[in-house]
Amino acid sequence: MKLSNGLALNGHPSGRHFLQIPGPSNVPDRILRAMDYPTIDHRGPEFQKLGRAVLAGIKDIFQTRSPVVIYPASGTGAWEAALVNTLSPGDAVLMCETGHFAGLWKRMAERLGLAVDFLQGDWRHGADPVAIGERLAADRQHRYKAVCVVHNETATGVTSRVAQIRQAIDRTAHPALLMVDTISSLASIDYRHDEWRVDVSVSGSQKGLMLPPGLSFNALSDKALAAARSARLPRSYWDWEDMIAANANGFFPSTPATNLLYGLYEAIAMLQEEGLPNVFARHQRLAAATREAVRGWGLEILCANSEEYSPVLTAVLMPQGHGADALRKVALQNFNLSLGQGLGKVADKVFRIGHLGDFNELMLMGTLCGVEMALAVSRVPHRPGGAQAAMAHLAATATAR
Ligand code: PLP
């Protein structure tokens, strides 16, 4: 089919597309409707009410009372904002190799002129609290100005234990800032900015918040704000000071993404209606059912530590000699199902099942049935019945209402 604008399409596949990549996640109709309004004057009184409401509401999602800065940018922008607001050229930072996204953040830090020590990892485990503690204990000169951790490594389906990392840092009494990437964990996995005394939490709109891509966040601490006063990396657009000054009245220093902010207002309302503890429990349960399916198929979960299984996605290793991308292609072409591709050093070796955001049991079952059928069509060696095992888990753990 060729559209009048010249775009060639294969025709409309009937039914809903299953967008089961680990973000962007499915945007619920309620949020789409909430954004479907005229854009208003971002310096006017109506906007001010919206600005005040979202700037206050987003704090609850980070479990913080400190300021949260909102940028019209993807998560990568908020990574940069965290670094340039707090650090100076040549500062040493400790980062942890959990997977592809940790590697990208490290590359950014190096490009910005920071001296990165990268704690090696095998992409099957989270950031190691013991190893972080040892590095900090050995750093008597307090060379490290920051420790940076990706909470949920979206490339591997491994969730690092931030509370334990905080404790490990505390035991050394090291003054380094703690920065955490919560881009694929916020509003899906329990995350406590204040209780864990994180200095900068970085996040994005397109995962647990159920919004389209385009907003990103920095949740701050007093210590981060103090560091910003003496930090010397060049910054302009990302400067927290300009943001915080304008935010005090509900406004932004440059044109905000007004319609995404309408969506954010609705997303916060939806999360509050369900209740954050219920949101986290729902993600845990759907993730556990997914792992039952993977085990039922006789396939291997990439995450090697059961304490670090991600509630947001499950990365599945392909049997030797079978490519994950061919399987994903079959799932898309035959069943209108998008699965996440393997990234970086696990490219074509794993596929990722996203189970986050606006998601429930039957959506999960549709997804897992799609995977199981794609395994059969692609003749990937597996045991049939994984989807059945997930269904049994969901039935056994359902609360009778
Ligand atoms: N960090 C993590 C954990 C991510 O999952 C992603 C994107 O998926 C990013 C950083 C980069 O964010 P973005 O692609 O929104 O710039």
Ligand 1 mean position to 78 CA, how many Å? 10
Q: Which of 88, 101, 113 has the alpha carbon at shortest distance from 149?
A: 101
pTM value > 0.95: yes
The share of the chain scoring above pLDDT 90, in percent, equals 96
The verdict on the CB of residue 225 being under 6 Å from ligand 1 is no
pLDDT at 394: 98
Beta bridge partners of 339: 20
Q: Does domain 18-25+275-397 have CATH number 3.90.1150.10?
A: yes
Coil, strand, or helix at residue 354?
strand
Q: How confident is the model at residue 208 (pLDDT cuts 50, 70, 90)?
A: very high
Q: What contacts 357, CB < 8 A, 6 or more positions away?
A: 23, 25, 26, 188, 207, 208, 209, 210
The verdict on the CB of residue 185 being under 6 Å from ligand 1 is no
pLDDT at 185: 98
pLDDT at 8: 63
| Interatomic CA distance for residues 193 and 186, integer angstroms | 10
Q: Which of 103, 394, 47, 84 has the alpha carbon at shortest distance from 250?
A: 47
The verdict on the CB of residue 341 being under 6 Å from ligand 1 is no
Q: Are 162 and 150 in contact (CB under 8 A)?
A: no
Query: For atom 13 of ligand 1, which residue has the closest CA?
Result: 75
| Interatomic CA distance for residues 186 and 75, integer angstroms | 12
The share of the chain scoring above pLDDT 70, in percent, equals 98
The verdict on the CB of residue 354 being under 6 Å from ligand 1 is no
Options 3.40.190.150, 3.40.640.10, 1.10.10.10, 3.30.460.10; CATH for 29-272 is: 3.40.640.10
The conformation of residue 213, written as its DSSP 8-state character, comes to: S
The verdict on the CB of residue 184 being under 6 Å from ligand 1 is yes
Coil, strand, or helix at residue 170?
helix
- Give the chain's mean pLDDT: 97
Total number of residues shown for the chain: 401
| Interatomic CA distance for residues 104 and 110, integer angstroms | 10
Give 280-297 pLDDT, tens digit per residue: 999 999 999 999 999 999
Q: Are 373 and 334 in contact (CB under 8 A)?
A: yes
Q: What residues does each domain of the chain span?
A: 18-25+275-397, 29-272
Q: Best substitution site from 183, 200, 356 to test ligand 1's pocket, by max atoms within 8 Å of Cβ?
A: 183
The verdict on the CB of residue 150 being under 6 Å from ligand 1 is yes
